[in-house]
Structure 1
């Protein structure tokens, strides 16, 4: 440890590694900026649609352009950090993300904004896996690293909720453009501070697995796109089926390439560890449930409860606090309990919160209908994120830590994109079926004035439309609850306990 934190040398310049608290602040600030951009524009979407002329279908790509490139390129970003040096790659990713944010805020057309959002995703994919890997570079394994992981996991888990709050404030007080402009001064500050407080990692000379990078990125992107298209065009659509078919072919080719490559972008031996593979599955499913909860409750509080963007953003503050509280608690007690117990507790709470939310209807109030189950879900997320992160990265060689962290980030983002698309499909089907029922009931009891208004707008009166929306959201939460239960089963069956007497530094390591 002493060799890693050398004293200040010549001229009083700050030596990287001397201030671990500041190093962690830089790393987590970057991760927060990247993670919250997956949701910060959610509440601003109506304003973006009016300003740039998006269609209702095209508007979804403001989110998808970011998540597709982010999830698809995370593995390449993790490998780049291993080969070129994590600090160097981290700074490049932050600068690219910053430039893309500036371009997005200046967008004058829908195409311009989508290109900027895709570029943001690329920058995030480069910076995010190296951010997590830098924790292993700058903190010793054991209690110190566990605490750092706790902070990092809390920030990653709460980023979606913080993005919703920030989006509500910026949209209400300034304009939708500031949901993007806000990243510019933060990104510049992080790029300047990183060399002062963060050590560079050891470089591992090698060649980029270009073929593996192309097939994995294209395969995951097409898989995400297939689910997104299915939500919009249906499962039998030719484009949907073609996307799934191409994704299967490319991902199969990726596995074959990685098995034969001497320097693979994703070392397949990482999956040989039972606990690590289980942690990736849990993160994949958890990401799906979490993205779905934020998306649908954003719709509910604005379209059913009638909240303003600002109030809608702050409605999610308790979730952020719940995740932060239990993430810190988990990092403190994990050395004594081991990861499995915490993941089981977290999985049970998350599933319980989603089951409660599946009972939502148009008469649900904020406190009993949303706040309490949201907080239960958030408490569960905090207990899950810390042990999952530690299990995924424990006993990974320094050479592979970038790839391992890239996989962890990729499973959360890709899981969120895939899961949200499936949940939206369930939501859309349930809403359409219920709308048909409600139209019949409305037509049977409507006054002549109501019939004339319906014929002109083709929209049901608010009580009926609120019921349809709530029914679709309830159906989506039923599936989300099932996903959470599956994650809990994986935890119980796959993840193994820490043997009593193991050191804190091996928390989450394989047993037996």
Structure 2
């Protein structure tokens, strides 16, 4: 039997820039499809509920099933890419995501749709977990890497806003099935191009680093943790269910860390956290993504529930934020990171985000779009600085052997932040609105009061991210 040593992919400076740019475009296209799906579904939820007869609590599982699979498998998927080849994992993820999208589109009952959404989450995790790792190895030169990460960050930020617009248009003009059918040409095209454009890489194989116990522990911990967080909207934060499952999730995570410290081939080498930049970037990302959901989700709810916007109009109203983030990501982030350093750029971006969310603290019931909302939409462009700087810092300690693991870790903290943001901020907004309504406030005033409280917490989370960046990274090179 012939054995094969690991073969490094033909990446970096040994590939022409045009070839690497095409590979980046394919990676961005795959990510765009996944990000689009995440936001496009939220707009279509009322139509799905009416068609399939979901209860309000049951409807949340069309989102929760995806989040649990996606967030729970990112770290494992990243390590799998390092071991068996990131190209294989990326293509497999795209194909699974596309097939699951077809199953979602033809789903005629609640169970089929929820199961298909879970499979979508698995496919999304496989493709997303290795994407940043592939970019790092494709662009080893700092300037090129900064521009590549800026483009990738733009796709992630802009895709969410585009998904809201597209979801509203497709749902109103056709029906909700088309929000999933649109993934078929996108996914098949991206997978076909990936096979041709991405250079094959071959890792050392599963036997060289398959920490089965560690994989079970971390996947169970993350899935259970996200399951617990998303369930707080229905069961509350202090219920026996939430506290019990939360403690079990923490215990599983602690067992995973102990396992990683002792395993010969750990799933997540703890040496990665010796890098101040990597540790701080992942911690700050949890705070930033949690806080940003105060903008992405709650502003959309305010526009629809208080101001009476339709789905398509809400997406269009949010579009300036995507344009601002895209312009900053593509045109400024790489240059500023190269000139001033990622820490300073991150601080500047966080300051802009604190200002943007801070403006919403005075949001009136009868808000004018141009005077009360558009300034926030434009200042949100600071997110283009934040996302690219965080990605650069989070991947700064990744080498060829563990780029997929670092990418999976970075994406995992992003999903944990998203789950926390949705659960915490929506709970706060709902509780405050209920209290104001019970005190006799008109419904619109009560809802706006709840949103303002959530915006205040969002602003606080972003301010805390600023403090952590300024203190923890002050001595980082």
Q: Same fold (TM over 0.5)?
A: yes
2:354 to 332, 351, 354: 351
Question: Does structure 2 conserve the Cα–Cα contact (< 8 Å) formed by 1:43 and 1:298?
Answer: no
Question: Does structure 1 conserve the Cα–Cα contact (< 8 Å) formed by 2:11 and 2:137?
Answer: no
Distance across 2 between alignment mates of 1:107 and 1:417: 26
Aligned residue pair count: 465
Report deviation, 1:213.
1.6
Question: Does structure 2 conserve the Cα–Cα contact (< 8 Å) formed by 1:6 and 1:18?
Answer: no
Larger of the two Rg values belongs to structure: 1
Distance across 2 between alignment mates of 1:225 and 1:366: 36
Distance across 2 between alignment mates of 1:407 and 1:360: 36
Distance across 2 between alignment mates of 1:418 and 1:26: 30
* Larger relative helix fraction: 2
Q: For residue 7 of structure 2, what is the aligned residue in structure 1?
A: none
1:140 and 2:118 correspond = no
Against the structure 1 CA distance between its residues 202 and 18, is the aligned structure 2 distance closer, same or farther, given a 3 Å change threshold?
farther
Report deviation, 1:337.
0.4
Report deviation, 1:496.
3.8
Unaligned 5+ residue runs, structure 2?
A: 1-9
Question: Does structure 2 conserve the Cα–Cα contact (< 8 Å) formed by 1:102 and 1:180?
Answer: yes
Distance across 2 between alignment mates of 1:311 and 1:65: 28
Give deviations 1:237-288, integer Å, cap 9, x for gaps. 2221221111111111111111111211111111111111110011111111
Report deviation, 1:190.
0.9
Distance across 2 between alignment mates of 1:342 and 1:403: 25
1:407 to 406, 409, 421: 409
1:491 and 2:469 correspond = yes
Distance across 2 between alignment mates of 1:97 and 1:103: 10
Distance across 1 between alignment mates of 2:265 and 2:35: 29
Distance across 1 between alignment mates of 2:165 and 2:210: 39
Q: For residue 161 of structure 1, what is the aligned residue in structure 2?
A: 161
Q: For residue 392 of structure 1, what is the aligned residue in structure 2?
A: 394
1:27-426 alignment to 2 at 5 Å?
27-205=27-205, 206-328=208-330, 329-376=332-379, 378-426=380-428
Question: Does structure 1 conserve the Cα–Cα contact (< 8 Å) formed by 2:12 and 2:140?
Answer: no
Against the structure 1 CA distance between its residues 16 and 335, is the aligned structure 2 distance closer, same or farther, given a 3 Å change threshold?
closer
Give deviations 1:123-163, integer Å, cap 9, x for gaps. 01111021111112322322222211110111122232222
Taking only aligned residues, the RMSD between alpha carbons, in angstroms, comes to 1.8
Q: For residue 450 of structure 1, what is the aligned residue in structure 2?
A: none
Q: TM-score normalized by structure 2?
A: 0.94
Query: SS where residue 200 of structure 1 aligns?
Result: coil
Query: SS where residue 265 of structure 1 aligns?
Result: coil
Report deviation, 1:117.
0.9
Question: Does structure 2 conserve the Cα–Cα contact (< 8 Å) formed by 1:73 and 1:125?
Answer: yes
Against the structure 1 CA distance between its residues 470 and 201, is the aligned structure 2 distance closer, same or farther, given a 3 Å change threshold?
same
